[in-house]
Amino acid sequence: MPKAPATKSRKRVAPKKHVTTAIGTESLATGFVRADLVFDGLDHSGASFEARIFINNPDADANTEMTVQNRYAGKFHVFGHGGCFGDVGHCEVRGIPRPYDPRPAHPLTPMRKVVIATEALRREIKRSNGKGLTLTIVPIVRSGTVRCDYENVLKFDGVSVVTYA
């Protein structure tokens, strides 16, 4: 049986964190019973990672403790695919699935993650006095391959705050 070709090792770099622009709080319902942070269009084609979320703490990083004092709101995990090992175009997601198409979507269709952050959002909305909220999302890479982009592991289309009355 032939040996698999040797792969060049790739030096891992610290993943970039993402700090959102200010999210207005004036349109949020007061007295909500639940509040979620919803991440849409999340890319999961690369490395596996944990994403820690802090509110109004732009200095948060991988060493920041996940505490109320540090304005920690929650986290989500992504089980990544490890980069593309196929032919050119193999990993390109083409179009969105039709509404009544029973076939499964492409395995790399961007995902949605929902983080229940009710208490953290209540606390930070009160602290902000209507100035808005910024989210700092800190990715912690858990595993990957030489085909992964470790610096730009966190990629998503948008984040929103959803409240339930």
pLDDT score for 114: 97
Instruction: Find, among 12, 8, 7, the residue nearest to 46 by Cα.
Output: 12
- Whether the pLDDT of residue 5 is over 50: the answer is no
List beta partners, residue 114: 38
Burial class of 155 by CB neighbour count within 10 A (0 to 12, 13 to 18, 19+)? middle
Residue 136 near residue 22, CB atoms below 8 Å: no
How many CB atoms are located within 10 Å of the residue 25 CB? 19
Residue-wise pLDDT tens digits, 19-49: 999 998 887 767 899 999 999 999 888 888 9
Residue-wise pLDDT tens digits, 39-84: 999 988 888 899 999 999 999 999 999 999 999 999 999 987 777 6
The whole-angstrom separation of Cα 12 and Cα 35 is 35
